[in-house]
Amino acid sequence: MSAKDISFSLPVLITKQNSSFVAYTPALDISTCGKTEWEAKKRFADLANIFLEELAEKGTMNEVLAELGWKKKESKAPYYCPALHSFAGFYHFE
């Protein structure tokens, strides 16, 4: 399975820390930052895509997503991320 075969939404928390904006998702346990909120979101999208491409390339997608609490399902989107108690919003990947 390649990263391009997956479509899902991730909860992403955007916070301002001093003069930087930080984008974080506990669903993949990754984060990045930028000087603006837009830059943090753009960098986050790039990071998430690279992260998933690497998992697909190494053949470790199932193992890593399972360790992060993801569940497999039979449908167009083969995974869904763990439920969160609260979050800032969703960033949709396709």
What are the tens digits of pLDDT across the range 13-40?
Answer: 898 989 999 999 989 999 999 999 999 9
Q: What is the pTM of this model?
A: 0.74
Residue 41: partners with Cβ closer than 8 Å, 6 or more residues away:
12, 14, 23, 34, 91
Instruction: Please answer whether residues 48 and 39 qualify as being in contact, where contact means their C-beta atoms are separated by less than 8 angstroms.
Output: no
Phi, psi of 13 (to 5 degrees): -100, 125
H or E element in which residue 33 lies: strand 30-34
41-65 pLDDT, tens digit each: 999 999 999 999 999 899 998 899 9
Which has the closest alpha carbon to 49: 4, 89, 1, 88? 4
Alpha carbons 75 and 59: distance in angstroms, whole number: 20
Long-range contacts of 34-40 (CB under 8 A, 24+ apart): 40/14
